[in-house]
Homo-oligomer: A and B are copies of this chain.
Amino acid sequence: MPKNCNFIEKLREVGLRPTKQRVKMCEVLFNREKTFHFTINDLVKLLSEKMNQKISLATVYNTVHAFEKKGYLKEISIDSHKSYFDTNTSAHHHFFDEDTHELIDCDESDIDKINIRKNITGKKINSVEVLVRVASDNQTQK
């Protein structure tokens, strides 16, 4: 668990200026054991409440999209009404908990490799991702 990692370096490497705001965002996003799934609002709340970093909403949007473009973050579509982001930028599968609206990553080993038999002329496959929707089991019990 590396505390103040060298995010300044990391940002420089991809050509983003290591501003105070971006470094703080890196700490919130990447100083973690596990993949982090979040919405813009989650992130704003974390920054202001846990990190005491006042930051404008526009900057959070801009910076998240800058990180996305540079390959630090990936946008996930599970709900057409909200944007989720993911610190795991590889193509991977998810469980989505419909009760809590939480995303959980699947390990490679959790799902067999998907075999696509159909192919679409002139098109190549960019990614294959599975979404497993789960919900509480006890509501159907008598």
Interfacial residues, chain A to chain B (CB-CB below 8 A) = 75-84, 95, 97-98, 104, 106-107, 109-112, 114-118, 120, 122-138, 140
Contact = CB atoms under 8 A, between A and B. Distances in A.
B116 A125 contact: no
A115 B112 contact: yes
A139 to B, nearest CB: 9
Given A80-B82, A83-B80, A126-B98, A120 B133 contact: no
Contacts of A126: 98, 133-135
A78 B76 CA distance: 9
The list of the 7 closest CB pairs from A to B, nearest first, reads: A110-B118, A123-B134, A80-B83, A126-B133, A124-B137, A127-B133, A77-B77
B109 A123 contact: no
A68 to B, nearest CB: 12
Contact of A112 (B79, B109, B114, B135): B114
